[in-house]
Amino acid sequence: MAGILFGTDGIRGQFGQYPVVPGFFSRLARATEEFFAQYLGKDRLKVAIGRDTRESGEILVQALIAGFSDRVTALQCGVLPTPAVAYITRKLGCDCGFSVTASHNPYHDNGVKIFNGEGEKLPIDLELGIENLVQILAMDVGAAAAEVINHVSAAEEEFCASFDNVGFTFGGRVVLDVANGAGTATSPPILRKICRDLVVIGDKPDGKNINVECGSESIATLCQSVKDHRAAVGIAHDGDADRLVMVDETGVPVNGDQVLGVIAKYLFNENRLSNNLLVVTEQSNSGLDSSLSKLGIGVVRCGVGDRNVYYSMLKHGASLGGEESGHLILREFSNTGDAISAAVLMLKIMAETGAPLSLLKDDISLLPKKLHNIKVSQKIPLSEIDGFDKLLNFLKTSEPNYGRVFVRYSGTENKLRVLVEARTEATVDKILTCVCEFLERRLTYTSP
């Protein structure tokens, strides 16, 4: 069962409001230190700490450092993508890693993602162990006692160097949008090694403009830039560069499930798709399953969140998994969502096949689908919303083009996410309107 501090992807909230406050982050650091010391049976620990470009990031990094005792050596890595923090943690033999970020959220939010020594996001039982220690540890944080090593330049160089031998060159023009975020210092030099012509946008972070009208959550600028520059492809990250969104040569966004499908087909043909399986979440389009099943590729579904995807991949022995939102996990390269590794592989596929992205994506046929978010003041269990199950059963039996309805609360925001999939756009719109109106009435009625 989930805890009260950790959501689907670490701890996240508005800076200045509990738990995203310096005092709590210091307690979290000490609790994590104590937990890993006991869990690993070690007297000394080494940790890596990176952050995105939010103005509150350095404050929270220093709060983490202040919470560690003198048995900790902390590698301070500065602004660094979340997948790079995971990479450094594993490569340098750290016992755990911290990425201070709120990912795709607005700048006034922040949070933290924690990795173990293998660069894996912590399973729920370890998060619960840390939560328990946060609650019971008596700690008076004074002057920082940890040994702190400045690893900023080295971390950037080490992560970029991991892409030195990709073995291909991409000849077309590429537009890269780094969301004024953590990928600003690493993704452009990585792609310049590969691309003959690279245009970079969203690369002027000021502490407040992360994800603002740029990046994976706001791709209108990228779409227009691809058309203006007559580029072969557009690539967008989110604020911590663990999410990839692509735009084809016509300036049209490519669905994340289609990107997953293209990669799955390529790895399958290269005999590199372990167990011929792709792991996705419940939110992925059912058309992905049917498109890949024709080739003999199976699709396994799990709960939302790239942490859930990763541990499902381990369970089923899969090498590829991801979410429609753009988290892609390529276990050949990383144990977490990694936007730049996925982007490099997609460029390689395009270079080797000679096919434009618009053609590659069309091999993955998707059903009409829409997602709507409902803001909520509290997350009332869906089972307690009177009449909801009856409504879904009625729609399933009365609508001949019904596909599926998937409803869940966001793990990082106060929102209820309603996803509807059907065989026609008209049916999607009809069912989505019906379900959302019902839920909005019920939630308004039951909320305080």
* CA separation for the pair 438, 433 (Å, rounded): 8
Please pick, among 103, 284, 319, 334, the residue that the annotation labels catalytic.
103
- Answer yes or no: 284 catalytic: no
For 253, list phi and psi in degrees, rounded to 5: -65, 145
List residues with catalytic annotation: 103
